[in-house]
């Protein structure tokens, strides 16, 4: 059945005839027993709404062709559909027509069935065919993703959920961020998760006791927004829809199961942050699929080059969202509000966040980009944490350049400097002092700026690049499995294999040094002022076999092998105790910089900041925050060195950490530290020693 929209018949009830331009997406009005549909498309000339039953995904059970005189308000097409007209409909989509003129930036294709960008649930027919969506002029009826109609229940755009007494946890000096992939965390048979729950939101719930045992307080999930199941993507950074949870992470109902996960995390005192990708979509460049944004309004949704034939590619993925345009901007804000209010997410990490600063013409605006201001305002109203990856291919904005004034930022300088220093590179002592202190060169606490060290998200590893063990086991990337002849992934890893490439035939002394280096890295991460983050599996020496870009490896390269936890239980214990140490000493992570509470030293006297130096020590006074005093000695040199401890506190120094020792001597539990009898300590080559003196 097809209907063409006509004139309004009742002045008193015009919205029930024409629909309303807000909210965007599909909305059920229980009082009026009908649906409102709204779609942003500035350049479309014709919009037809299509409905499908569960039994026939090829032939619409009802069509409604919108008339712009009645169903368009400025750039939004909208209509009202009484529920009685579509009693058996379960899915919906659009067919949008307009100019197909690539020189003008238009790629309308009437043959394509198009997914509503605001659909909160996505359905893929069994006959879904990505190749068909990539072929211009080829009909995709029955072969394209569809939106799921909202349930006919009152007062909510998503099905109801019993949140119980759900309260958002919040952590300050206790913040420990743990980046993980929902599928990779439990997909391996060794995860001890039941077969049907492996790699799902529910499987992750089963591992919450492990997260509590480890001591992390924030779980940052790699993208969980719906992506194309036929794209060969594993990480999830090629988003198809920004509202729906990925179907592949659910047994049955992704909305319900994701909310179960968040509720369970909150009950355990763990925050849930999402890694979100509002800088590009999975439609790629001009050769990619047309299943949503491109076919709805290519020029509005994407930044195009000057001749408008090709896409600006500052993301390295084929396209770049036009974030300053009202259409994409509304999409971003709608998505964030949806995940905040209906899914109870606690924070967002923005992939390639510098894209958010692009003007409508693609130029960079670091002064007042509207979407950054709107996101900041939304987060303030909802008590949400914001984290920026403040760079992209065309703009590096780490620090005060990025206009999100209160946002946290992934600190790539911390990663690079710590990696380089611990591998033995020269000239890095001054940089290490900055990184441990909280990176005040990037986040200055001047009267004008008044930045906080917590804005620096300190990390040594993340999903992108070597995992922590591989950082100590490989000098070069080994990405052949990805299918790009080892040309993908970064060539600049600041890694050191400790004298032997890989794990085949590796000598025992090399393995021992690698374990020591892993402990060194994590010790520095836990001792540095700022917000620490590490990658799932680093705590038991997960390896990706030297692959530093396994974005398409949904297999044992990326799945965590939980047998390694038992094999490397000494490393797990070290991580666990080092986290507990940091959480027990608020003097480390402060809301302000240490300033006069820190004094810097070297092996025997002031710090040696010469290019040849590989050593550093410091004293951190804890009295101002009612904490113990700490003394740290760092030897990145390849020979043992006799450090003179430059401070004599009221109480004796107790040795908490010596990364050169075997477990359990490498880190002591409270009350079992070793009291020092001398003001000298022989710090072994490539090791770190941490002392504490109990407060009076």
Q: Measured between alpha carbons, how far is 95 from 91 in angstroms, rounded to an integer?
A: 14
Tell me whether residue 539 is one of the annotated catalytic residues.
no
User: Which is the catalytic residue, given 257, 314, 346, 389?
Assistant: 389
Total H helices, total E strands in the chain: 16, 28
According to DSSP, residue 210 is labeled H
Spatial contact of 18 and 78, defined as CB atoms under 8 Å apart: yes
Q: Measured between alpha carbons, how far is 463 from 181 in angstroms, rounded to an integer?
A: 9
User: Which is the catalytic residue, given 141, 351, 666, 673?
Assistant: 351
In DSSP terms, which residues pair with 599 in a beta bridge? 619
Name the pairing type of β-strands 46-52 and 91-97: antiparallel
Spatial contact of 115 and 97, defined as CB atoms under 8 Å apart: no
Query: Percent helix, strand, coil in the chain (nearest 5)?
Result: 25, 20, 55
Token pair 């390269």 is at which residue? 557
Q: Which two tokens stand for residue 200?
A: 């799902």
Q: Which two tokens stand for residue 187?
A: 């997909």
Phi, psi of 513 (to 5 degrees): -65, -40
Task: Show the beta-strand stretches assigned E in 536-640.
Answer: 598-601, 615-620, 629-635
Using only the alpha carbons of the chain, give its radius of gyration: 27
**Rounded to 10 degrees, what is the CA torsion of 601, 604, 605, 611?**
-70
Name the pairing type of β-strands 271-276 and 218-221: parallel
Give whole-number Cα distances, 139 to 98, 107, 298, 604, in Å: 16, 15, 18, 76
Q: Which two tokens stand for residue 255?
A: 């909305």
- Maximum CA pair distance of the chain? 94
Question: Smallest Cα–Cα separation from 550: which of 183, 145, 288?
Answer: 183
Spatial contact of 403 and 369, defined as CB atoms under 8 Å apart: yes
**Rounded to 10 degrees, what is the CA torsion of 514, 515, 521, 523?**
-160
Spatial contact of 315 and 389, defined as CB atoms under 8 Å apart: no
In DSSP terms, which residues pair with 275 in a beta bridge? 349
Where do the H-state alpha helices sit in 173-325?
A: 182-186, 201-206, 208-214, 254-267, 293-301
Question: Smallest Cα–Cα separation from 355: which of 407, 319, 305, 386?
Answer: 319
Tell me whether residue 389 is one of the annotated catalytic residues.
yes
Spatial contact of 269 and 213, defined as CB atoms under 8 Å apart: no
Q: What is the DSSP string of 624-674?
A: GGT--EEEEEEE-SSS-EEEE-----SSPPEEEEETTSPTTTTBPPTT-PE
Spatial contact of 128 and 145, defined as CB atoms under 8 Å apart: yes
Which residues are catalytic, by number? 351, 389
């Amino acid at each position: 059945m097809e209907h063409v929209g006509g004139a309004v018949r009742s002045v008193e009830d015009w919205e029930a005839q024409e629909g309303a331009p807000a909210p965007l997406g599909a909305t059920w009005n229980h009082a009026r027993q009908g649906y409102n549909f709204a779609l942003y498309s500035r350049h479309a000339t014709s919009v037809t709404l299509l409905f499908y039953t569960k039994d026939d995904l090829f032939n619409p059970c009802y069509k409604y062709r919108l008339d712009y005189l009645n169903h368009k308000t400025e750039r939004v097409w909208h209509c009202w559909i009484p529920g009685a007209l579509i009693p058996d409909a379960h899915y919906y989509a659009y067919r949008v027509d307009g100019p197909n003129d690539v020189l003008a930036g238009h790629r309308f294709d009437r043959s394509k069935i198009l997914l509503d960008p605001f659909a909160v649930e996505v359905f893929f027919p069994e006959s879904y065919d990505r190749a068909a969506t990539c072929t211009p002029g080829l009909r995709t009826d029955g072969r394209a993703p569809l939106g799921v109609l909202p349930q006919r229940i009152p007062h909510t755009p998503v099905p109801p959920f019993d949140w119980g007494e759900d309260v958002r946890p919040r952590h300050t000096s206790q913040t420990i961020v743990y980046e993980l992939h929902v599928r990779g965390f439990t997909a391996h048979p060794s995860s001890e998760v039941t077969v049907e729950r492996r790699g799902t939101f529910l499987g992750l719930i089963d591992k919450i006791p492990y997260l509590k045992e480890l001591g992390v307080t924030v779980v940052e999930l790699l993208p969980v927004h719906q992506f194309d199941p036929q794209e060969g993507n594993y990480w999830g950074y090629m988003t198809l829809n920004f509202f729906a949870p990925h179907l592949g992470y659910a047994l049955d109902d992704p909305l319900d199961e994701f909310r179960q996960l968040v509720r369970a995390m909150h009950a355990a005192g763990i925050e849930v942050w999402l890694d979100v990708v509002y800088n590009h979509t999975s439609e790629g460049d001009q050769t990619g699929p047309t299943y949503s944004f491109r076919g709805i309004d290519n020029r509005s949704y994407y930044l195009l080059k000057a001749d408008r034939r090709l896409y600006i590619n500052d993301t390295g993925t084929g396209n770049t969202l036009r974030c300053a345009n009202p259409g994409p901007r509304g999409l971003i804000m709608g998505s964030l509000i949806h995940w905040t209010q209906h899914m109870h997410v606690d924070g967002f990490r923005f992939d390639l966040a510098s894209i958010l600063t692009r003007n409508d013409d693609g130029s960079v605006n670091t002064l007042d980009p509207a979407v950054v201001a709107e996101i900041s305002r939304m987060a303030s109203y909802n008590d949400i944490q914001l984290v920026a990856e403040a760079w992209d291919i065309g703009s590096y904005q780490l620090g005060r350049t990025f206009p999100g004034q209160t946002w946290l930022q992934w600190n790539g300088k911390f990663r690079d400097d710590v990696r380089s220093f611990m591998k033995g590179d020269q000239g890095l002592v001054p940089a290490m002092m900055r990184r441990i202190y909280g990176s005040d060169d990037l986040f200055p606490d001047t009267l004008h700026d008044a930045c906080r060290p917590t804005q620096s998200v300190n990390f040594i590893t993340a999903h992108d690049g070597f995992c922590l063990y591989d950082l100590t086991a490989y000098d070069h990337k080994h990405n052949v499995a990805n299918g790009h002849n080892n040309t993908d992934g970064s060539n600049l890893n600041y890694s050191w294999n400790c004298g032997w490439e890989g794990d085949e035939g590796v000598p025992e002394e090399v393995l021992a040094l690698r374990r020591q280096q892993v402990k060194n890295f994590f010790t520095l991460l836990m001792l540095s002022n700022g917000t620490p983050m590490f990658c799932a599996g680093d705590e038991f020496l997960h390896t990706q076999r030297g692959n530093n870009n396994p974005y398409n490896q949904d297999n044992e390269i990326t799945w965590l092998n939980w047998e390694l936890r038992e094999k490397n239980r000494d490393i797990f214990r070290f991580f666990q105790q080092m986290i507990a140490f940091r959480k027990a000493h608020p003097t480390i992570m402060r809301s302000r910089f240490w300033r006069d509470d820190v004094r810097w030293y070297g092996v025997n006297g002031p710090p040696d900041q010469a290019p040849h130096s590989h050593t550093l020590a410091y004293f951190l006074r804890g009295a101002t925050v009612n904490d113990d005093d700490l003394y740290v000695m760092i030897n990145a040199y390849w020979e043992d060195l006799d450090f003179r401890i430059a401070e004599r506190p009221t109480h004796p120094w107790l040795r908490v950490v010596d990364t050169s020792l075997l477990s359990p001597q490498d880190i002591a539990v409270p009350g079992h530290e070793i009291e020092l009898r001398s003001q000298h300590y022989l710090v072994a080559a490539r090791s770190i020693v941490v002392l504490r003196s109990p407060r009076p």
